[in-house]
Amino acid sequence: MKIIILLTLVLTFFIYENNNENDLPIDVNVDQSDEEKSLTKNNLITFDCSQESWNIEEDHDKDFGHGYFAKNGKVYFYNYNIEQPVYVCELLSADHKTFEVLDFIYARDRNHVYYRYSEMKEADPATFEIVLEGGLAKDKDKVYLFGQILLEIDSDSLKDLGWRYMRTKDGIFIRNWDFKAEKIEEADLNTFEVVNFSDSPDYVRSAYNAKDKNYYYKAGVIVDIKD
């Protein structure tokens, strides 16, 4: 089941990246100031990237993994997807001495949290943690999906249920394909459960993937009433 959930999140991640491919900042003017080299969008401060020619595999001081590396006391992210143009992004605010990679899209240092080549301006590095590898994370105050804040989701009581469902003290939510969390108003908090179809070859085509004392649900929508 965990493998299925992870594959679903990875697929979502690549859909999101492909939809935003035209937004990649390429060909930076080297005379720009640090402030001009960053773009603020929602929770993310995205550092401009440039096409580089150096041999990244050899010319670096430390390889953090998943595209992050340090060179001359600075931290960089590079695109290692051969289906896209090569680009290298300097994380202008990163501290290379305390920098660490948390999973294949999140990293942090003592001052900031990073989503790939963007700084998450709202995230608290001291309490930031991965809830589900591949996108879902939280800190002491907020919940994040692919670096974006999921509004009105209680961080402290958050629990991932699988199949994009989440439980908090406030109710049952589902993460939609537009990277927002929607509360399932009809769901019963005490009896709601995600059905594990991992043992069935037809789990994707099954009629429902969650249930509570009153209803059956698929993708957060009621599909049948329980007898």
Q: What is the pLDDT of residue 29?
A: 33
Evaluate if residue 50 carries a pLDDT over 90.
no
Burial of 112 (0-12, 13-18, 19+ CB in 10 A): buried
Q: What is the pLDDT of residue 45?
A: 87
**What are the DSSP calls for 82-100, one per residue?**
TTS---EEE-TT--TTT-E
What is the DSSP-derived secondary structure letter of residue 48?
A: P
The residues, any chain, with a CB within 8 Å of residue 2's CB and separated by 6 or more, are none
Structure-block tokens of residue 49 = 């990237």
The C-alpha atoms of residue 181 and residue 103 are separated, in whole angstroms, by: 22
The answer to whether 26 touches 85, Cβ cutoff 8 Å, is yes
Evaluate if residue 85 carries a pLDDT over 80.
no
- For residues 61 and 28, the model is more confident at 61
Q: What is the pLDDT of residue 47?
A: 84
Evaluate if residue 177 carries a pLDDT over 60.
yes
User: DSSP 3-state helix, strand, coil percentages of the chain (rounded to 5)?
Assistant: 10, 35, 55
Q: What is the pLDDT of residue 87?
A: 82
Nearest to 186 by CA among 222, 143, 136: 222
Mean pLDDT of 146-169: 92
- How sure is the predictor about 15, in pLDDT bands with cuts at 50, 70 and 90? very low
pTM confidence score: 0.75
Structure-block tokens of residue 197 = 């179809």
Amino acid at 53: S
For the chain, give the percent of residues with pLDDT over 90: 47
Does residue 75 sit in helix, strand or coil?
A: strand
The C-alpha atoms of residue 107 and residue 109 are separated, in whole angstroms, by: 7
Mean pLDDT of 125-150: 92
pLDDT (tens digit per residue) in 186-221: 999 999 999 865 554 444 567 889 999 999 999 899
Distance of CA 13 to the CA centre of its chain: 7
Q: What is the pLDDT of residue 147?
A: 92
- For residues 142 and 204, the model is more confident at 142
Evaluate if residue 138 carries a pLDDT over 60.
yes
Residue 62's CB is within 10 A of a number of other CB atoms, namely 11
- For residues 104 and 51, the model is more confident at 104
CA distances for 85 relative to 10, 26, 80, angstroms? 20, 10, 9
Amino acid at 146: F
Nearest 5 degrees, angle CA 209-CA 217-CA 17? 65
